[in-house]
Structures are given as C-alpha cells and as structure tokens.
C-alpha cells in the first residue's frame, strides 16, 4: 500500500518520536485506506478495547468504525459499569484487559500523561493508543489534521497556518504546533491573549484576528473548553465571537484557496459563524471523515510492530 518504511512502534502516544518520513507514511497510509473503499479483514483475530473516561463522539466512534472496518473484535467497555466504579485504577483496568487477551487499548483519560505507568509495566503487553490525555496531547486528531492539510495542498513547507482559540487548554493545539513546525509550516496564534502561554512563542507568533485572516492558508479554530477552566468567569458568546471568532465578515477577507479546520464539536457562533461549518472553504466534515482512515493507519501500524531482539 505504501512504499515508505513502516514505523516500528508498539504504542501510539505522541507524534513527536516519528521522523518526517514516518509521518508521511502514516498520512499516505490513511489516504490509501480512504481511496481503497474496501479493506481486507486482516485482523479478525485481534481484540481491541476502547477506554474512554471523558465524553467523546468523533474520536470514540471513528476508532470503533476503523477497528470494525479492519475486522477487529471490539470489546465493549463502559467506565460507568466497570470496576472503575469500585475504585479500580486505570493501570489495573489495562492490566486486566491485557491479561485476558486485549491486543490494543485505545484510551482517553482526564489525567495528563496517564500512560506513563502503563508503558513502564513489564506485565502489560497490549498496544496503547493515546486518544487524548487531559490537556496534554491528541495525536490521532493531529494526524487526521495533517492528513486533511496534505490532501488539500500536497505539502507543509511554508504554509501559513493559524491556530486560534482556547490555546492553553487545547491538546489539539499542543500536538499540532509541534509537528507542523517540524514539518516546515509557518505558525501563527490568536484568541484571548491570556490563553497564549509563552510555550507557544517557540513555535510561532501571536497576531490579531483581523490581520491574521488576510494571509493564512489554513485557519484552524479551537473549541472553547469550558470544562477545563478552573473558574467559570462571565463568558459572553457574542463578545468572544466578535473579538476572536471567525465571523462572516472575517471569512470574506481570507485568501481564495484558504481552508477552515476545527476539531469539533463546534460551538456555533462562538469560534466561528454557524454558516461557515459547512461552507465551501470548510474542511470540518472532511476532517471527521478522515478521522476514520487516519485511525485505521494507526491501528495497522501498531499491529505491525516487531520487537527488536
């Protein structure tokens, strides 16, 4: 399917360890799965558990659809009816699932770097896929974003890419800024200035929205994550939209070939005008579709892992 070398990785925790060539392999593999329309049921003997300890629609269900397209056996798991309710730790849950035969555990958890003790365990043999760790990273979302940008432009070098919104609390922003910077894109940030940490300065500069919209190739909007704000200060949706959102007026100032991305769910008329969610330049629906194929590439890659002797 792909002439590039397969990344030899047991787990999928972050995009950071992958070389540019390996990232291109993952992107091209996802696009090949998308083009194929039909897929060999290569993993009928594989068992996978999706452990989601935070609410999710797109990530959870696209992983499940990806798994089923590849012939995997999906083990039902609901935190609300599991031994988690008896006080069982995440580590012990994964230890149990690995012991009874789960080949892969896809995990979303509210703790940042939840995977550290799991990866250090000699008793856990399952492949671990990070589906989002607190405010840490979201590597599968980052991969589908890369896939969507590459599908549109065919390259990353010198693209002007804006990441706008709730930067401080966004694992999507943290994953994407690191990898896009490494791939040669020029990054810009916007949104409330108090959500722009100095860590972001190493990857790009802060620019006001009215200037930013006029020259970027990719406008990546972020959801305002009310659930991660420690104090619920007075929040005016209309004020946020006018100050920091992609309004209809701002969209009219964008370059003809520029595209809009958003990891969703979208707070309509907050991060961007509701009419822009399915607008001609929006790739939000494409992102959701690409999520299945990007995750098929991830599953396929970890299942091909060969332990070095």
The pLDDT tens digits of the residues spanning 143-158 come to 999 999 999 999 999 9
**Cα–Cα dist 77/163, whole Å:** 34
Q: β-strands 218-221, 127-133: how paired?
A: unpaired
Q: How many CA atoms lie within 13 A of 229 on its CB side?
A: 13
228-278 pLDDT tens trace:
555 555 568 899 999 999 999 999 999 999 999 999 999 999 999 999 999
Residues comprising the chain, all counted: 309
Decide if pLDDT at 66 tops 70: yes
70-89 pLDDT tens trace:
999 999 998 888 888 888 99
CB 151 within 8 A of CB 290: yes
**Cα–Cα dist 140/136, whole Å:** 13
**Cα–Cα dist 181/132, whole Å:** 21
In this prediction, residue 42 carries a pLDDT of: 79
- Which among 242, 226, 283 is positioned nearest to 260, based on CA atoms? 283
Please state the rounded mean pLDDT for residues 39-43.
Answer: 78
**Cα–Cα dist 204/165, whole Å:** 15
In this prediction, residue 203 carries a pLDDT of: 95
Q: At what angle do helices 139-153 and 284-303 cross, to 10 degrees?
A: 120
- Which among 284, 195, 285, 200 is positioned nearest to 244, based on CA atoms? 195
Decide if pLDDT at 139 tops 60: yes
In this prediction, residue 194 carries a pLDDT of: 87
**Cα–Cα dist 36/19, whole Å:** 26
174-230 pLDDT tens trace:
889 999 999 999 999 999 998 888 889 999 999 999 999 999 999 999 988 755 555
Decide if pLDDT at 309 tops 50: no
Percent of the chain with pLDDT over 70: 94
Percent of the chain with pLDDT over 90: 79
Average predicted confidence (pLDDT) for the chain: 92
In this prediction, residue 186 carries a pLDDT of: 98
In this prediction, residue 266 carries a pLDDT of: 93
């Amino acid at each position: 399917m792909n002439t590039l070398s397969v990344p030899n990785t047991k787990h999928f925790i972050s995009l950071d360890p992958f070389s540019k060539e390996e990232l291109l392999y993952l992107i091209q593999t996802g696009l090949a799965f998308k083009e194929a329309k039909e897929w060999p049921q290569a993993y009928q003997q594989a068992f996978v558990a999706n452990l989601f300890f935070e609410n999710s629609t797109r990530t959870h269900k696209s992983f499940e659809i990806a798994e089923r397209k590849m012939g995997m056996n999906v083990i039902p798991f609901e935190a609300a009816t599991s031994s988690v309710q008896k006080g069982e730790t995440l580590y012990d849950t994964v230890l149990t699932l690995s012991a009874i035969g789960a080949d892969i555990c896809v995990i979303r958890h509210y703790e940042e770097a939840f995977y550290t003790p799991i990866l250090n365990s000699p008793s856990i043999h399952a492949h671990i896929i990070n589906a989002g760790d607190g405010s840490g990273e979201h590597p599968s979302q980052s991969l589908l974003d890369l896939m969507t940008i590459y599908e549109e432009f065919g390259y990353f070098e010198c693209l002007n890419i804006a990441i706008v919104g709730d930067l401080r609390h966004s694992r999507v922003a943290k994953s994407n800024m690191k990898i896009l910077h490494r791939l040669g894109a020029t990054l810009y940030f916007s949104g409330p200035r108090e959500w722009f940490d100095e860590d972001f300065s190493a990857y790009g500069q802060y620019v006001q929205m009215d200037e930013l919209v006029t020259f970027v190739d990719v406008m990546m909007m972020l959801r305002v994550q009310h659930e991660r704000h420690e104090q619920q200060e007075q929040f005016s949706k209309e004020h946020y939209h006018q100050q920091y959102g992609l309004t209809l007026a701002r969209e009219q100032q964008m370059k003809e070939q520029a595209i809009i991305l958003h990891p969703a769910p979208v707070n309509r008329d907050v991060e961007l005008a509701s009419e822009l969610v399915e607008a001609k330049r929006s790739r939000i629906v494409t992102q959701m579709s690409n999520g299945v194929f990007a995750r098929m590439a991830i599953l396929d890659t970890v299942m091909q892992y060969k332990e070095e002797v």
